[in-house]
Structure 1
Amino acid sequence: MSHLLEPLVIRHTHRIPLPAGPAGQGDVAARQFDAVLMSVGFKLSAELLEHLSGLSEGTVVDTAVRTLRTVREMVGDHVRHNVYFIDFPANVPDTFDFWMRCIAEALADDKARPGTVAQLESGVVDLLTLPSYGNYRHTYAEMLAAHGELIAAAGDRTTVLHLGGKADDEIGALYLALAGSATPLGEDDLKDLRMLARHCVDGPQPEEIPVRENRAVVNEARLRAGAGLLLDTVTDVLRLACTLSDGDVTLQTATRFKGLSRPVRRALLAGLDAVVAASPAKLADVNAWREDFKRLGERLHPHEYPQWPHAAEVFAVARGEVQARSFDSRVEELLAMHDVTGAARLLTSAPGKLFRSLDRLLRMALTQDEREAVVAAAEQVVPEVSGRVVLSVREHLHNRAEATGERRVFVNRLGRAWVAEDERPPVLPAERGRLIAALDAEIRHRLPSPERVLVDPHVLDVALPLSGKATAAGLGVLPRGSVSPVEGELLRFFVYWKESRQRTDFDLSAVMLDERYETLAWLSYTALTQLEGEHSGDITEAPDGASEFINLRLGAVRGSYVVPQVNIFAGEGFEEVEESFFGFMLREAEQQGRPFEPATVRMKSELRGPGRVALPLAFRRAQDGSWTAKWLHLYLRGTPSANRVEGNRVTVATLLRGIVEREHLTVRYVTDLMAGGENATEVTLWDRETLPPGPVTYIGLERPDGLHPDSRVITPENLRDLIPD
């Protein structure tokens, strides 16, 4: 079982669990392992290489096989990336000339000629009916033969793999980190937690599981193992039931509950009964999920279990037979009477709700006394509010424009984005400034005070992951709002997808915008070449998987922004295909190589979200000519079919303006707080060369080789650890 979970440890921590086996002369095999890893952009740390060299050759080979399979998938090298135009990025034709060539080839085909002639006579030709359009015209091997070897460059990515502890210790530590996370996990991390929870159910457990979705996943494992459930609200039971039915544990979409076995039904009803018996007021929580509880009741048959009468009350409330007034309704009643002071006073008994309502309360306050009451209430309860909520409100207040009439960008938990006019009255500067000062003081108080902090400058503008939903799974992926430097002459995007049941056509595109967010040009299947670069050609189905690429010469880009996007033209959605991911590579002009070279991949991100248009990130050019990436992780609704870059340019530009101009809380905010105040921590920016001899708290994009083994390390994989409780 440990071998099955090792890939999770490698992906989440970049550590290889301590390889166990007989001693031997494994130095040759270890060096060969290191060389193969370097070809895909990874490398063994000096400590790990030394350890492997002292093991038997067979042990090293077994470790290499398992590890290579994992890292190839991490970077997207586990599939074959072919291109339509075999010489890409060389010899990509003009779009119109290419289409005319496809038509000429169709006219030369006896089978296709009649239909093509009929279309020409009508004045409209469907490209999908042309035999030579949309399908690979050569094998993967033939494509490889058409390209020279990649020339290594100093700027190629090198991700160091470090030596971990014993497999069970590493697996247990990863389980505790995910289960005890202070921020919600993404879909893929929740799946990993489910596997880990089942393996670790009899081992050490986190002291607290603050995120309800995580608790539901852990409860599923405990239920299967016959262990006690961790429940303190009726909604905990509802989430657990959703998990058991392979439904949405976040409760954002309705779950179709499966038939449940009698032991499971008894466990859920007993849990509901205990929660309500301990606190009858928690029946009010049923109102928020009334329909879900109705459907769950149809599966649990509470009338068959008279020994749990409090559980039956839950479903009576859901059916409207019993009234359970909610806390929120009492707050709304006060606000309906314009009693802002009374509402603020009541909300002090629910500090999290108070903080989520601050903006609304301040907008409704008409007098200085009312505004004073709201701010004072927030100052009173801030020590009781979770660190994630405090930071979220702090970021919100920082971006709260005093003037109205601006466009406002909304992003839900699933990454779907939309835009609306911001018609809110302003939050007055005095109250806004006072609240910001109180929140900064509270966060500074909660942050740890290590003796020394060493910070990689490249991580300073990485946004704090206030929600795991704002970060897709993958390699080199940063939270929404993060800014990272882009260094290289050539920027190459790629998308890969493999359909499940029906023909599916993804289209990779990139739009170039000026400083006013006006469109200058784009690259797509309708514009194969531009001054800026080339498109690899349109692939219109992917039964065996398909890839598309865009090659950009950054020095030739017109304007200030480049926005890559993936449009679904036809078929399955991002959450329906068997597999789909997006990424980008950086190269120097002389490197050559295949269209896809894993050692040059800087980011590979899973595409799993709602909507029919994906916007993973955007690139921005500064006045000095340097480029940075701004991470978006957004999905647009789009249309059911035929989504194209030409059709969503205005929406993309508006969203981009909203995201680019919003300032997120970053690592810099946390390190500045650490370095300030009475008990200031020594915070040093790392020169990326010399490492201190003793242990430090290191914050960076990845752990450097040679860091003291007793150091605490925070990288994007565990950046959530920077968020205080």
Structure 2
Amino acid sequence: MVHRLEPLVIRHTHRIPSPAGPAGEGDVAARQFDAALMSVGFKLSAELLRHLSGLSEGTVVDTAVRTLATVREMAGDHVRHNVYFVDFPANVPDTFDFWMRCIAEALDDSRTRAGTLEQLRSGVVDLLTLPSYGRYRHTYAEMLAAHDELIAAAGDRMTVLHLGGAPDDEVTALYLALAGSAAPLGEEVLEDLKVLAEHCADGPQPEAIPVRENRAVVNQARLKAGADLLLDTVTDVLRLACALSDGDVTLQEPTRLRGLSRPVRRALMAGLDAVVAAAPAKLADVPAHREAFKRLGERLHPHEYPDRPHAAEVFAVARGEQKARSFDSRVEELLRENDITGAAEVLKGAPGKLFRSLDRLLRTARTEAERDAVVAAAEQAAPAVSGRVVLSVREHLHNRAEESDARRVFVNRLSRAWVDHDDRAPVPPRQRERLVAALDAEIRRRLPDPGRLLVDPDVLDVALPLSGKATAAGLGVLPRGSLSPVDGELLRFFVYWKETEHTTDYDLSALMLGADYETVSWLSYTHLSAVDGEHSGDITEAPDGASEFINLRLGAVRGTFVVPQVNIFSGEGFEEVEESFFGFMLRDGEQQGRPFEPRTVRMKSELRGPGRVALPLAFLRGDDGRWRAKWLHLYLKGTPTSNRVEGNRVSVATLLRGIVEREQLTVRYLTELMAGGGAEVWDGTSIPDGPVTYIGLERPEGLHPDSRVITLGNLRDLVPA
């Protein structure tokens, strides 16, 4: 296996592919490797430590070098995290006093004195013009010297790395898992799949690739390798063309298609021809993307392929020269005629569309007989609907409030969110309950027999990963809507960014809200310290990378909610900077250490979204006084410049209320269906002798090798096909 693929395996599975090398006395190097890992919050499993100890020292050292680089990046320790106030969180000054000091220093500087005096006369001083504001005033080494060494605590994160199989086997297994995922992958994971697909194009393939975006990425790799394409619809060919142009394979955004080489044109025309020849009715998919197919025709030159008459029909339909009535148009015509029963009957031919239309059909039906007909159609079609859609509709029905003042949360595929008043008529209770029962039965039917089922209690409130777009790449990241416990006395957020070419200023802030979502206080560059915490100081440019931190004493926090956010004040967006990520650490009250300590990092996620304000997660204080994290992965549009926590308090509070009051389907729901209430909540103390099904945040050591293990890395496997 090429070593460049090893980091993908480690990141996704927390397994190190079994190193290939001569036997030897590698025990000393293996123990040193383990100690180095522990300094950044990772550890070798007992099995992996034994295996490495039997290899040559050189093999162990080579493995250690590669692995340490990977895990340090996973935890955010691959960069230098400096702070503006050298001994943060100690001695953070009062905001006004700090600003006055910066002004005084500007007046003492002959280069800036005149300009500063002019600003003072006008009554407004631009902080960015003050030479001592927003730029590091000490080196990274000087900052380290100002802090005591971190004393290890029992609560520090320790992520165990396990022994994997042969390198090629590990890569193939990861490829099959990602390509065959029943849920869409996030953007970063889709990029990983692209790399894996190129390596595995000539090897084993998944039995099915249910997600169309995954299929487009796999086909791109197969096309490059000269392998047969995996095509089921004409839209698969359009998605592949978008992938070849580095465009949007979801077809939600228009792609500027590039010119294609003759071999590629020949392959795409052959694919289109075969699909239409096998099922002419699939021409009905063309009108939904008419303009995109016209552009594709301009790139494929179909007139050059007279031997592909069926492919030519695709472009004739796109140009309107041939009729191919779309499925949606037939349904819409029946709905305009108020023929709800007829529409439901037609939709049975497209079970996924039927399920996505259930709410509308039930709301617009005028009689009990029509509503019952809709439910009956759904019950008949359920076995043909993907598990992800069944679960999504089940969650939707659970949250379908009957009250007229309900809020409706909208989150698009780019993680941009907004809230609106829900003025839809309610779904009739009787049909809703009947549908819920039918969907529960259908999901239960699809779930495998788990045998003995052990469940980590911390995973029960993790939301089901119905879409990879509802999460972000990183360490310890949970799907949107998940709840996870927060155990520690000190909570510390961090953000890191490195600009690409333009001066870029990101601002880390934390908004504290009361039980009714009213503003209690905040921490930001405009409010550096409060009774509950401190801000590390504003950094306004990042040519070499920059970090900001917020330190919170959870016992002193005023309010019920804490919402950290990253505001773009100026410069490059989250998708334009060279690198940007957010995370949080937890420490015991007595732990000191540097501002950033990798083994205290509980979560680190990439910031890659279209808005100018990022909301990675929020923290909620429960009635029991304990804090929990509510995972958001959301972006607000914000303004082009000067985004500040003070300016988005209302929108953040409104959005948070909508998210908190919505209930997600969680792992708890599936485990209860899977085991019929017989799941064992495992405390981790006694290792079972035989094989089990284990579901948890991380894989425990010592499980029987035939056990089925579901952790964060493969949580998507819980979603039935």
**Structure 2 length-normalised TM:** 0.99
Secondary structure (helix, strand or coil) at the match of 2:363 reads: helix
SS of 1:22 mapped into structure 2? coil
Contact 2:273/2:310 (CA < 8 Å) preserved in 1?
yes
- Give the counterpart of 1:707 among 685, 703, 707: 703
SS of the residue aligned with 1:227? coil
| In the alignment, structure 1 residue 300 sits paired with structure 2 residue 300 | yes
Aligned to 1:108: 108
Residue 280 of structure 1: how far off its partner (Å): 2.1
1:685 aligns with 2:713: no
Matched, 1:524 2:524: yes
CA contact (8 A) 2:450 2:675 kept: no
Amino acid across the alignment from 1:694: G
Is the partner of 1:590 in helix, strand or coil? coil
2:691 maps to 695
Deviations 1:424-473 (A, max 9, x none): 00011111100000000111111111220111111100010000110100
1: CA distance between counterparts of 2:588 and 2:279?
64
Distance in structure 1 (CA, Å) of the matches to 2:699 and 2:132: 48
Letter in 2 for 1:485: P
Shift of 1:80: 0.5
Report 1:193-204 matches (<5 A): 193-204=193-204
Secondary structure at the counterpart of residue 286 of structure 2: helix
What is the CA–CA distance in structure 2 between the aligned matches of 1:293 and 1:566, rounded to whole Å? 40
Give the letter for the 2:720 counterpart: P
Q: Report SS of the residue matched to 1:707.
A: coil
Dislocated runs of 4+, deviation >4 Å: none
Q: State the distance in 1 between where 2:532 and 2:251 align.
A: 44
Q: Matched residues in 2 for 1:387 and 1:380: separation?
A: 15
Amino acid corresponding to residue 471 of structure 2 in structure 1: T
Q: Give the structure 1 partner of residue 499 of structure 2.
A: 499
Please name the residue that 2:675 is paired with. 675
Q: Within 2, Cα distance between the matches of 1:416 and 1:690?
A: 44
Report the AA paired with residue 107 of structure 1: L
Please state how far the C-alpha of 1:304 moved relative to its aligned partner.
Answer: 2.2
Q: CA deviation at 1:225?
A: 0.8
Alignment partners' CA distance in 2, 1:136 and 1:251: 44
Note the C-alpha offset of 1:65: 0.2
Separation in 1, partners of 2:197, 2:214 = 10
Structure 2 counterpart of 1:703, one-letter code: R
Q: Kindly report which structure 2 residues correspond to 1:324-723, keeping only aligned pairs within 5 A, or say none.
A: 324-676=324-676, 682-723=678-719
Match of 2:231 in 1: 231
Q: CA deviation at 1:288?
A: 1.6
What corresponds to 2:146 in structure 1? 146
CA distance in 1, matches of 2:698, 2:490: 24
2:289, 2:100 → 1: CA distance? 57
| 8 Å Cα contact 2:450-2:674 kept in structure 1 | no
Give the 3-state SS of the residue equivalent to 2:559 in structure 1.
Answer: coil
Name the SS of the counterpart of 2:178 in structure 1.
Answer: helix
Cα offsets for 1:266-320 (capped at 9, x unmatched): 1111211221222222222122222222222222222222222222222232233
SS of residue in 2 equivalent to 1:525 = coil
Cα distance in 1 for partners of 2:145, 2:685 equals 39
Q: Structure 1 CA distance, aligned partners of 2:459 and 2:105?
A: 52
| Structure 2 segments unaligned to the other structure (5+ residues) | none
Q: CA deviation at 1:706?
A: 1.7
- The residue that corresponds to 2:155 in the other structure is 155
- What amino acid sits opposite 1:705 in the alignment? E
For 1:675 and 1:194, locate their aligned partners in 2 and report how far apart those are by CA, in whole Å.
36
Q: Provide structure 1 residue ranges, at least 5 long, that are not aligned to the other structure.
A: none
The one-letter code sitting in structure 1 at the alignment partner of 2:249 is V
Q: Do the aligned partners of 2:484 and 2:630 also contact (CA within 8 Å) in 1? A: yes
Task: Please give the alpha-carbon distance, in whole angstroms, between the structure 2 residues aligned to 1:670 and 1:644.
Answer: 40
Counterpart residue identity of residue 693, structure 1: D
* Aligned pairs for 1:44-193 within 5 A: 44-193=44-193
Which residue in 2 is equivalent to 1:724?
720
Distance, in Å, in 1 between the alignment partners of 2:405 and 2:288 is: 33
1:280 matched to 2:276: no
Q: Name which of structure 1's ranges 297-306 and 127-136 shifts more when overlaid on structure 2.
A: 297-306
Q: SS where residue 361 of structure 2 aligns?
A: helix
- Larger mean CA deviation between 560-569 and 296-305 belongs to 296-305
Shift of 1:690: 1.6
| Equivalent residue letter for 1:698 | Y
Q: CA deviation at 1:193?
A: 0.5
Structure 2 letter corresponding to 1:711: S
Counterpart in the other structure of 2:244? 244
Q: Which amino acid is the alignment partner of residue 106 of structure 2?
A: A
Cα distance in 1 for partners of 2:336, 2:326 equals: 15
Deviation at 1:410, TM superposition (A): 0.3
Structure 2 distance, partners of 1:329, 1:368, is: 26
Matches of 1:326 and 1:715, distance apart in 2: 42
Q: Secondary structure at the match of 1:591?
A: coil
Cα deviation, residue 688, structure 1? 2.2
Residue aligning to 1:269: 269
For 1:551 and 1:19, locate their aligned partners in 2 and report how far apart those are by CA, in whole Å: 41
- Give the distance between the partners of 1:455 and 1:421, measured in 2 at CA: 38
- One-letter identity of the residue aligned with 1:261: S
Whichever residue aligns with residue 444 of structure 1, its letter is R
1:153 Cα deviation from its structure 2 partner: 0.4
Return the offset for 1:344.
0.5
Secondary structure class of the residue paired with 1:427: coil
Q: Which residue type is aligned with residue 617 of structure 1?
A: L
- Sequence identity of aligned pairs in percent? 81
Count of matched residue pairs: 721
- Is contact 2:453-2:675 (8 Å) kept? no
Deviations 1:134-173 (A, max 9, x none): 1111111111111110011000000000000000000000
Letter in 1 for 2:700: P
> Residue 78 of structure 1: CA displacement?
0.5
Secondary structure of 2:354's partner?
helix
**Offset at 1:501?**
1.8
RMSD: 1.0
Distance in 2 (CA, whole Å) between partners of 1:318 and 1:638 is 38
How much does 1:124 deviate?
A: 1.1
Q: Aligned partners of 2:455 and 2:242: how far apart in 1?
A: 42
Cα contact 2:455–2:682 (8 A) shared by 1: yes
Kindly state the Cα deviation for residue 618 of structure 1 after the two structures are TM-superposed.
0.4
- Pair 1:37 & 2:33 matched: no
Task: After TM superposition, give the deviation of residue 178 of structure 1 in Å.
Answer: 0.2
Supply the distance in 1 between the matched residues of 2:273 and 2:118 (Cα, whole angstroms).
71
Q: Distance in 2 between matches of 1:254 and 1:77?
A: 38
Q: Whole-Å Cα distance in 2 between the matches of residues 322 and 93 of structure 1?
A: 73
Determine the structure 2 residue equivalent to 1:319.
Answer: 319
TM-score (norm 1): 0.98
1:8 positional shift: 0.5
Tell me, yes or no, if the aligned pair for 2:451 and 2:692 is still in contact at 8 Å: yes
Write the distance in 2 (CA, Å) between the matches of 1:503 and 1:259. 35
Q: Return the alpha-carbon distance in structure 1 between the equivalents of residues 319 and 554 of structure 2.
A: 61
Paired AA for residue 688 in structure 2: P
CA distance in structure 2 between the aligned counterparts of 1:403 and 1:346, rounded to whole angstroms:
31
Segment of structure 1 superposing worse, 154-163 or 379-388 = 379-388
Offset at 1:321? 3.0
**For 1:548 and 1:300, how far apart are their aligned partners in 2?**
50
* TM-superposition CA deviations, 1:505-532 (whole Å, max 9, x none): 1111100000100010000111111111
2:219 aligned partner = 219
